[in-house]
Structure 1
Amino acid sequence: MPDLDPQSIAAYWDAEADTFDDEADHGLRDLRVRAAWAGRLRSWMPRPPADVLDLGCGTGSLTLLLAEQGHRPVGVDLSPRMAEAARGKLAAAGFAAPVLTGDASDPPAAAGTSFDVVLARHLLWTLPAPERALRTWMGLLRPQGRLILIEGNWQASGDGPPYVPGAGALPWLGGVSAGPLVEVLRPYAASVAVEPLTDPVLWGKPIHDERYAVIANR
């Protein structure tokens, strides 16, 4: 397992917080992009209200969409500045959903221990032990709960993000293809489905790499 300093990782994302929402799929400032993500979330989620753990929530754009759709989200992010931005975004829209600072791979107990949905977007590549995290997340689901993973493999396009010292040893640095991810989840899930996310409206631009959602039902 790679030995990465959590403080260095948090500092990396703290430094990204001010400009994070400049990416179309992060800030969802473009109404077409926002509507596209809202529609996808609606199609994956159970009927509201559901208790949702949004892991690696960043600045809270998806957390806010979930709250607007009548769900009860709880956000978790390792970066204090990201978590602060998410709390501000939710509060500005009139929501009091909690956002905690903590390790998404092993969420703090204060976030809760039982959820209808666990959601993570573009998080697995950052984790030293992604397979262990997936087992932990499946264990947080109630019966008939679902794990929703929005993922991709950016290595295919040579567009993997720069990261912290020692990150070269991360198992899924640059992303992971759907096939290996599904195989990891199969022993813990009653069913696993993959949905390609190739619509450029979701990303605010054309894409040339693998992007998809995995929905694993307990």
Structure 2
Amino acid sequence: MSVPADTIHLMSESDTASISSYWDAAAASFDDEVDHGLRDPQARRAWGERLRSWMPRPPADVLDLGCGTGSLALLLAEQGHRPVGVDLSPLMVEQARRKLTAAGFDSPVMTGDASDPPAEAGHSFDVILVRHLLWTLPDPEGALRRWIGLLRPGGRLVLVEGRWQTPTDDHPYAAESGPLPWFGGVTAERLLQALRPLTADLRTEPLTDPDLWGRPIHDERYAVIAHP
């Protein structure tokens, strides 16, 4: 679904408050999902292997946007990288900080709009990692442009995405938030279409291994690795 240029916008204050509250309410049980908490050794190993294949040699400066409770940031830190996490939910951020601190890492994690990362997160990264965030954004294509602008020469944008739901209407997932162009996920072809004018090199990788999700997957799951 395309959105007219005059309706594209960053999240308003009411959007931000509503969506932050939505994810705060989910924070306590968020890690119960196999691919969120990575408590299952097979899932943890599977995501660790994928991250290792997508990242440059450590240490790399990695901006983890929509970091949730910090499970991927922790894997990155364990692999020798320097992750910085950003999430809109203060309760998710608290959990991520505790998780990293308990493992002996002082990686910064901060509350902020991942679609337009706060200045204190930094301005230049080797990698920007984003997992299952684009569907939550009112202007996903604008976010892609902003993220690519934060990459150093030779950097890469790693997007873990999928199309898992076909919405029957345009109702937002959080009360008072605006319409979402990619609600329910985005197909690989649609995402590649958005990225082609912004990047010099693109590749996609299917993510259908049940170990990643704790169950067999019957919808579209994939990663896109983009180099400007």
Q: TM-score, normalised by structure 1?
A: 0.95
Which residue does 1:170 correspond to in 2?
Answer: 180
Q: Return the letter of the residue paired with 1:52.
A: V
Corresponding position of 1:198: 208
C-alpha RMSD over aligned residues: 1.7
* CA shift in 2, pair 1:124/1:194, >3 Å: same
Q: Tell me whether 1:84 sits opposite 2:94 in the alignment.
A: yes
Amino acid paired to 2:123: T
1:23 and 1:202 mapped to 2: Cα distance? 11
Runs of 4+ in 1 over 3 A off after TM superposition: 1-4
Q: Does the CA-based 8 Å contact 1:156-1:209 persist in structure 2?
A: no
Partners of 1:167 and 1:43 lie apart in 2 by: 36
Task: Report the identity percentage.
Answer: 70
1: CA distance, partners of 2:76 / 2:218:
28
Judge which range, 23-32 or 167-176, deviates more: 167-176
The answer to whether the 8 Å contact 1:118/1:148 transfers is yes
The yes-or-no answer on 1:69 pairing with 2:79 is yes
For residues 193 and 200 of structure 1, what CA distance do their matches in structure 2 show? 21
- Map 1:152-163; keep pairs closer than 5 Å: 152-156=162-166, 163=173
Equivalent position SS for 1:48: coil
What letter is aligned with 1:202?
L
Instruction: Decide which of 138, 141, 145 is 2:155's aligned counterpart.
Output: 145
Query: Where do 1:126-137 residues align within 5 Å?
Result: 126-137=136-147
Q: How many residues matched?
A: 216
Q: How far apart are the structure 1 equivalents of 2:118 and 2:138?
A: 17
Deviation of 1:163 after TM superposition, in Å, equals 1.8
Q: How does 1:1-218 map onto structure 2 within 5 Å? A: 1=8, 5-156=15-166, 163-165=173-175, 169-218=179-228
Runs of 5+ consecutive residues of structure 2 not aligned to the other structure: 1-7
Q: Which runs of 5+ in 1 are unaligned?
A: none
TM-score (norm 2): 0.91
